[in-house]
Structure 1
Amino acid sequence: MDAASLEAAIVSKGNEIRELKAAKADVTAQVAELKKLKTDYKIVAGHEYGASAAAPAAAPKEKQLTKKELRILEKQKAAEAAAASKADTADPSKFGDAPLVQSRDLPTKKFVDVATIDETLDGQSFWVRGYLQNCRAKPKIAFLIVRQGAFTIQAVVSESADVPKALIKYADDIPRESVIDLYVTVKLPANPITGTTQHNAELSVAKIFTISKALPVLPLQVEDAARSDTLVFAEGSDYVEVGLDTRLDNRVLDLRTPANQAIMRIQSGVGQLFREFLYSKGFVEIHTPKLLGGASEGGANCFSFGYFGESAVLAQSPQLHKQMACACAGLEKVFEIGPVFRAENSLTARHLCEFTGLDLEMAIKEHYSECLDVFSELFIYVFDNLNARFKRELDIINEQHPFEPLKYLNPTLVLKFDEAVAMLQEAGIDQDLLEDLSTPNEKALGALVKEKYGTDFYFLDKFPLAVRPFYTMPDPKDEVRTAIMTEPRKGIACNECRDGVTRTIS
């Protein structure tokens, strides 16, 4: 059918439907037929039924603007163009890559450490330098996690009259782990921020500069290396553990994790507290040689090397020099913090080729219990002050590597070797009275002592003479025992020697 025939059929079908509707009859079939006719008409005629095939009507005539309206419109367009240009153009006074630090000018900026930022600094403005740990950016706002040492804080970049959108884009483009400077104002968040160490304050960023840009892709992400053991090792966890080889191959990155930063600070704190206490007791710090002509504790586990045509060894202990300084030179009380070298061909945590030793030596007046008292006070001083002065660092470590707080008594528990053997035997563990404790038995004894006495730390006294070095003094009341004490779980040891005149303990 042509268009004219279809148009006539549509008119006829429409009349039929109206008549049926007037008679209140069913028109479903007729309506369907009408729709089909209109569809066919559109195909043949090229336009809808009822629409004209002529050219479309002309658009309505645009309203003519007055001169005043034209001037206003031009100003608006100019302002929009300027704003767009400003948003897309780098402002060197607000953000960008900083030039190399060459100490050209004296310092003028006020920097504040992240660790000290809290709610008491609300409203204050200053500079912060740290690593960019993470950035989550949206078109008009970005959230940054800035890390300095073991401490982290949230920084917010929000578009405003003073903060262009380009600054937000720049922040998002900075490679993670780059060193950045931020000019900030402290704000109080509506709720504590749980993802950072600084919970009660956040930083509103006005300026941001990159001091040292990191590579876009790093061997490991600090955020991954810092993830809690609880999350990594949870059943069904999707998190992947950062392997030990990866950590050691990229140690400078691994050391950036808050937990490792805290561990390094606590390690430093142990040395500080060790010195503080011993200085207060009249001890003198000495520095003994580490290149020796012979072994100080037997030569089986020494590192040997050539020394200008002669043989020498790395010091495995400051033992002999401490005794000479203390007993023979009249210093009476000495200590040293220094490296120790042992040729221990082993892979256990109890056998290290190199470690830092904390050694002390003191003359005694009548009985080695004088030294036990000093040792007890020393360790309690260290433990108490670690808990008090390094609580934040302990909390940070606990977040990644959960642990139970150390339990200890004041004064320290002194357990006789015979009592320890009896405890092991009562628990069904084989242990001879005249033999040294094996590693499994040491661990088992530690658990038994904690259960019975409520302490992780204790001294073990009166070891069998046969398992101690030749210079160990026998117990005058029991020739098979020694005047010695040691704490096997923590690796602390001291003994009594005698040259006929002076007794020393080390």
Structure 2
Amino acid sequence: MSSEQPKAEQSLPERPKEGGDASAPPAEGEAAAAPSKNALKKAAKEKEKAEKAARRAAAEAQQKTAAAASDVSADRYGDLPMVGSVPYAGPSGETRIKLADLASAYPADGDAPPADTTVVFRAVVETARVQSAKLAFVSLRQGLDNIQGVVAASDEGGISRQMVKWCGGVSPESMVLVHGGVARPKEPVKSASVQHLEIHIGKLFVISKAEVPLPLQIEDAERPLPGEGKDAADEAQEAAAGRPIVGLNTRLNNRVLDLRGKHNHAIFTIKEGVCALFTEFLRARGFVGIQTPKMMGAATEGGSNVFEVTYFERKAYMAQSPQLHKQMLVASRFERVFEIGPIFRAENSNTARHLTEFTGLDLEMAFEEDYHEVVKLIEDLMLYMFKGLRERYKKETDLVRSLYHVDEFQLPEEGKVPRIPFKEGIHMLREDGADVGDYDDLSTPDEKRLGALVLKKYHTDFYVLDQFPLGVRPFYTMPSPADPHASNSYDFFMRGQEIMSGAQRVHDARFLVRRMRAMDPPLDPDQPGLKDYVDAFRYGCPPHAGGGLGLERIVMLWLGLPNIRLACLFPRDPQRLMP
């Protein structure tokens, strides 16, 4: 028998079954099927399309390169390198101007600027638009001022069409450096605050480019809050124009952009002005500025309205006011003190006039014979502040009030601030039909109602209520010798809303202890946080009084703002802790 094995039968490739997958890869040893005519045509079209796109891109790039090479303005515009990213070459020697100074140097009723007047300044682009191939307009803003910039193509001036197009496309809110000539426009530019001048732009460089689209348009934020300060005709006109409604939450969630609005710059310029006027007046009268702690070891003025924090391994509390420390300093022979600082109130009040953190303007002073010496000084302080705002911040005040159509703030005659006894205020309310008790604290509606009555009778939005009921005042308030149910305490009001609470303080330690124990519920004078305070008066202390003003409320009521959050840069309330 032969030892040879039979040869294996040679296998032939199978033909694809009818309906099989012609695109499947060939089996091992199987020859690849030839591509179909449709596939070949499709590939050829794709290749031709790609080649055309490449030729077009190359042509465009060549055109751009040629245009750039022939652009006579190539060094007059563009994006500057990020400041600090390249070595500093030293001062440019350019004198940069402010638009406000430019407007003052060439007033509308004065001579026109000389033909060769040129300026350099940094500004923000409000709007930029191309009018034609040879003309673009750029609205340039600096603070509360804005001016029209004109970019006009000119062979003589060295301004190219490329520059015109580029300038008209700068994104709004970008910061730019401008070189240009100053001229009078043929007609006043009504859209600008500097209407009698315009800038003929010769150079424009972007210092910091704004990303687009913006989450909030500045012009939308510069209108009143929805439903505030508008009549039906205003709202109908805005609706017809298709303008978006930007509510308070949207504004506060995008606060950095919102704060760029001109009216916001005016609000916070005025707010700083209130602090400056407050400080000026008091320093001129011998007051010393102080800084008291904002973290306390005990909730000394009521535990329910205080914020508790962790202080290492024990509890601490955010200060509800500098009250106790102000008095301790008076006992330390600092007889006239003031402070501007934060105050924290854990009140779950979601109203238009409450914040959980606000700025207090506090003062305390020793007096000689009667606490009304302090009342008079605070009246004079407030009038000084109001008159200072009228004189120094008229432009800002008028700008904000025009937004909400607010009436002028009415002031009393010199030395005639209405100082109304609390009982008389109750009588005025009852005569007007209000149901109020003799010694009840006033509700917000009652305060506003009384404010309207005072304005009608005394022709002023500013007044004082004196001799408040003792039962609604803190333990350190001096009772009234004329009425056991009243106290030597007072509140100050603007437009019918309280802006300050104050009183004569108890300065005798033994009497203070009796007052504390008579409270409902009683207070322990030996408890932590209060013992040091009580002991401060055991070593002799002059009679003294004072008060605390709410800065944001003053600004809100002076300007007629509909919500106190508009008077706070980054407001804190029960619902908001950011940004």
**Which category of TM-score, normalised to the shorter sequence, fits these structures?**
0.7 to 0.9
Could you say what secondary structure the match of 2:128 adopts? strand
The Cα of 1:505 is off from its aligned counterpart by: 1.1
Q: CA deviation at 1:184?
A: 2.1
Give the Cα–Cα distance (whole angstroms) in 2 for the partners of residues 204 and 399 of structure 1: 31
- Please say if 1:369 is aligned against 2:365: no
Q: How is 1:63-212 mapped onto 2 (pairs within 5 angstroms)?
A: 85=67, 89=71, 91-102=73-84, 103-118=88-103, 120-121=105-106, 122-123=113-114, 124-139=117-132, 140-160=134-154, 161-162=156-157, 163-212=159-208
Deviation, structure 1 residue 92:
3.9
Q: Which of 486, 504, 512 is matched with 1:496 structurally?
A: 504
Most deviating of 130-139 and 379-388: 130-139
Q: Aligned equivalents of 1:292 and 1:286: distance in 2?
A: 17
Give how far 1:230 is off. Answer: 4.4
Partner of 1:341: 344
Partner of 2:257: 253
Counterpart residue number, 2:550: none
Give the match for residue 466 of structure 1. 471
2:434 to 420, 429, 442: 429
Q: Deviations over 1:446-468 (max 9, x none)?
A: 11111111111111111111111
Q: Structure 1, residues 53-87: CA drift from partner, whole Å, max 9, x if none?
A: xxxxxxxxxxxxxxxxxxxxxxxxxxxx9xx9589
What per-residue deviation string (whole Å, max 9, x for no partner) do you get for residues 106-157 of structure 1?
2422111223331624343221212111123212222221122222222222
2:403 paired residue among 400, 404, 408? 400
2:130 and 2:169 in contact (8 A); partners too: no
Q: Which secondary structure state, in structure 1, belongs to the residue aligned with residue 377 of structure 2?
A: helix
Q: Which residue of 2 aligns with 1:276?
A: 280
- Does residue 1:505 correspond to 2:545, yes or no? yes
CA separation in 2, counterparts of 1:188 and 1:120?
13
Distance 1:413 1:92, change over 3 A: farther
2:353 corresponds, among 330, 347, 350, to: 350
How many Å apart are 1:473 and its aligned residue?
0.9
CA shift at 1:266, angstroms? 0.8
Does the 8 A contact of 2:128 with 2:169 survive in 1?
no
Aligned partner letter, 1:395 = D
What is the identity, as a one-letter code, of the residue corresponding to 1:317? S
CA distance in 2, matches of 1:342, 1:113: 42
The code of the aligned residue for 1:495 comes to A
Deviation of residue 302 (structure 1)? Answer: 0.7
CA distance in 2, matches of 1:90, 1:221: 35
**Cα distance 1:477–1:452, how it changes in 2: closer, same or farther (>3 A)?**
same
Deviates more, 1:474-483 or 1:395-404: 395-404
Equivalent positions of 1:19-58 (< 5 A) are none
Residues of 2 paired with 1:387 and 1:461: CA distance? Answer: 27
Q: Which residue of 2 aligns with 1:380?
A: 383
How big is the shift at 1:341? Answer: 0.7
Q: Distance in 2 between matches of 1:461 and 1:394?
A: 30
- Give the residue type in structure 2 aligned to 1:497: R
Per the alignment, do residues 167 and 289 of structure 1 end up closer, same or farther by CA in structure 2, a change over 3 Å counting? same
Q: Which residue of 2 aligns with 1:235?
A: 236
Which amino acid in the other structure matches residue 285 of structure 2?
K
Does structure 2 conserve the Cα–Cα contact (< 8 Å) formed by 1:186 and 1:202? yes
RMSD: 2.1
**Cα pair 1:187 1:203 within 8 Å, conserved:** yes
* Structure 1 stretch displaced more, 466-475 or 227-236: 227-236
Query: Comparing 295-304 with 459-468, which one deviates more in the overlay?
Result: 295-304
Cα pair 1:88 1:165 within 8 Å, conserved = no
Unmatched tracts of structure 2, length 5 or more? 1-62, 107-112, 509-540, 547-579
> Is the 2:129–2:169 Cα contact (8 Å) retained in structure 1?
no
Q: 1:119 to 1:351 in 2, by over 3 A?
A: closer
CA distance in 2, matches of 1:173, 1:236: 29
1:262 maps to which residue?
266
Query: In the alignment, is the contact (CA less than 8 A) between 1:332 and 1:363 conserved in 2?
Result: yes
1:373 shift after superposition: 1.5
Question: Equivalents in 1 of 2:196, 2:501: separation in Å?
Answer: 45
CA distance in 1, matches of 2:336, 2:473: 24
Structure 1 unaligned blocks of 5 or more: 1-80
- 1:158 partner letter: A
Cα distance between partner residues in 1 of 2:212 and 2:501: 50
Give the corresponding residue for 1:215.
Answer: 211
Aligned equivalents of 2:67 and 2:286: distance in 1? 71
Q: Distance in 1 between matches of 2:360 and 2:72?
A: 54
Contact 2:96 2:122 in 1 (8 A): yes
- 2-structure distance, mates of 1:227, 1:180: 25
1:394-425 Cα shifts (integer Å, max 9, x gaps): 12213433322211113322111111111111
1:90 touches 1:166 (CA, 8 Å); kept in 2? no
Give the corresponding residue for 2:447.
Answer: 442
For residues 214 and 70 of structure 2, the distance between their equivalents in structure 1, rounded to whole angstroms, comes to 29
Q: CA deviation at 1:273?
A: 1.0
* Larger RCO, structure (CA 8 Å, separation 6 or more): 2
Q: Structure 1 residues 325, 225: CA separation in 2 closer, same or farther (over 3 Å shift)?
A: same
How far the C-alpha of 1:90 sits from its partner, in A, is 6.9
Equivalent pair of 1:333/1:363 in contact (CA under 8 Å): yes
Q: Is the 8 A contact 2:287 2:336 kept in 1?
A: yes
Deviation beyond 4 Å, 4+ runs, structure 1: 84-88, 228-233
Looking at structure 2, the residues matched to 108 and 276 of structure 1 have their Cα atoms a distance apart, in angstroms, of: 38
Tell me if structure 1 keeps the 8 A contact 2:72–2:160. no
Shift of 1:240: 2.5
Q: In 2, distance between residues paired with 1:400 and 1:236?
A: 16
Query: What secondary structure does 1:479 align onto?
Result: coil
Structure 2 Cα separation of the partners of residues 439 and 218 of structure 1 = 39
The structural deviation recorded for 1:88 is 6.8
Cα pair 1:126 1:185 within 8 Å, conserved: yes
CA distance in 2 between counterparts of 1:335 and 1:191 reads 52
- Distance in 1, Cα, partners of 2:313 & 2:100: 53
Residue identity (%): 40
SS of the residue aligned with 1:154?
strand
User: How high is the TM-score relative to the length of structure 1?
Assistant: 0.79
Deviates more, 1:183-192 or 1:267-276: 183-192
- Structure 2 Cα separation of the partners of residues 430 and 87 of structure 1: 84
